[in-house]
Amino acid sequence: MWWTNDSTLPGFILVGFSDQPQLELVLFGVILFLYVMTLLGNATIILVSLLDSKLHTPMYFFLSHLSFLDLCFTSSIIPQLLVNLGGSDKSITYGGCVVQLYVSLALGSTECVLLAVMSYDRYIAICCPLHYAFAMRPGLCHSLASVAWLSGVATTLVQSTLTLQLPFCGHRQVDHFFCEVPVLIKLACVDTTFNQAELFVASVLFLVVPLSLILISYWHIALAVLKIKSAIGRHKALGTCSSHLMVVIIFYGTIIFMYLQPAKSRSKDQGKFVSLFYTVVTPILNPLIYTLRNKEVKEALRKILGRTL
């Protein structure tokens, strides 16, 4: 049946991993476990940062925003993915696809900008410690966080709206596990040159530019760390920076692969497995790498649990 873009009409079929039934069962168990751990880990970071006054610093202010982002981002994608993996019904309503598209893109774009802001915070803290209190004053921190959120909302209003304006001409099978701009553009039955160009420009602004700023910040941080005379302090600082950088590379690298690489140059399954990294893996790595390895957070968590018990 040929139909137009109308929420009252049938939705889409999320093909996902349905061509590999045995893999679906394995993915269901693994993703469910990681999702629960993501919820617990990020919720813990938010609560600890709010309840412990010692953690009312710019670093944990941004980490709280990152944890809230990850909670919302994963919750906009994984529940529907688990439903599709655990049953024979692979459909999603048109309205559900629209909501997923707008929300996931807004949150993902916001995280791209927020990670760059967090790297700037660490750069000031390590390279310019004497100016840190002034440079990262509360007003500026709130402004930077607002810029990250507003930029994410702005890009999804543009990209998602332009994508949904395309006629799909009855094409309902989305060869992916969630509604995402690149895969929906492929469904269109008209010339998508403008949409592809707009997607490329947005990807450069939200992926290449923030990643470049992050790498520059960590380069200066690494130079400052190498000047530390204490071998133990230097090793600890490098270990922390390398862990942060690993998460950043996984997050940006997989999204760049999905959004900037020509669709024809990757197999149909490559994009799905790559997308699992930035939708499932990095949200659980963020609390592990950024905070739960931190002595301040562990001490704050012990104090809170002690008072509760």
Q: Is beta strand 12-14 parallel, antiparallel or unpaired with respect to 173-174? A: parallel
- Ordered alpha helix ranges (H), 165-281: 181-187, 193-203, 209-226, 231-260, 268-276
Instruction: Kindly report, residue by residue over 70-93, the tens digit of the pLDDT.
Output: 999 999 999 999 999 988 888 899
Q: Where are the domains of the chain?
A: 12-296
Structure tokens at 42: 């990020």
Q: List CB contacts of 266: < 8 A, sequence separation 6 or more.
A: 257
Confidence of residue 30 (pLDDT cuts 50, 70, 90): very high
Instruction: Kindly report, residue by residue over 37-61, the tens digit of the pLDDT.
Output: 999 989 988 988 888 888 888 988 9
Mean pLDDT of 189-206: 91
Confidence of residue 263 (pLDDT cuts 50, 70, 90): low
Instruction: Kindly report, residue by residue over 145-164, the tens digit of the pLDDT.
Output: 999 999 999 999 999 999 99
Confidence of residue 268 (pLDDT cuts 50, 70, 90): low
Q: Domain 12-296 class?
A: mainly alpha
How does DSSP assign 265-291, residue by residue? Answer: GS-HHHHHHHHHIIIIIHHHHHIIIII
pTM of the full structure: 0.89
Residue 2 has pLDDT above 50, yes or no: no
pLDDT at 3: 37
Answer whether 4's CB lies under 8 Å from 188's CB: no
Structure tokens at 154: 């702005």
pLDDT at 152: 96
pLDDT at 241: 73
Segment among 13-22, 67-76, 265-274 with least mean pLDDT: 265-274
Instruction: Kindly report, residue by residue over 88-113, the tens digit of the pLDDT.
Output: 888 899 999 999 999 999 999 999 99
Query: Looking at 64-111, which runs of residues are DSSP E strands?
Result: 91-92
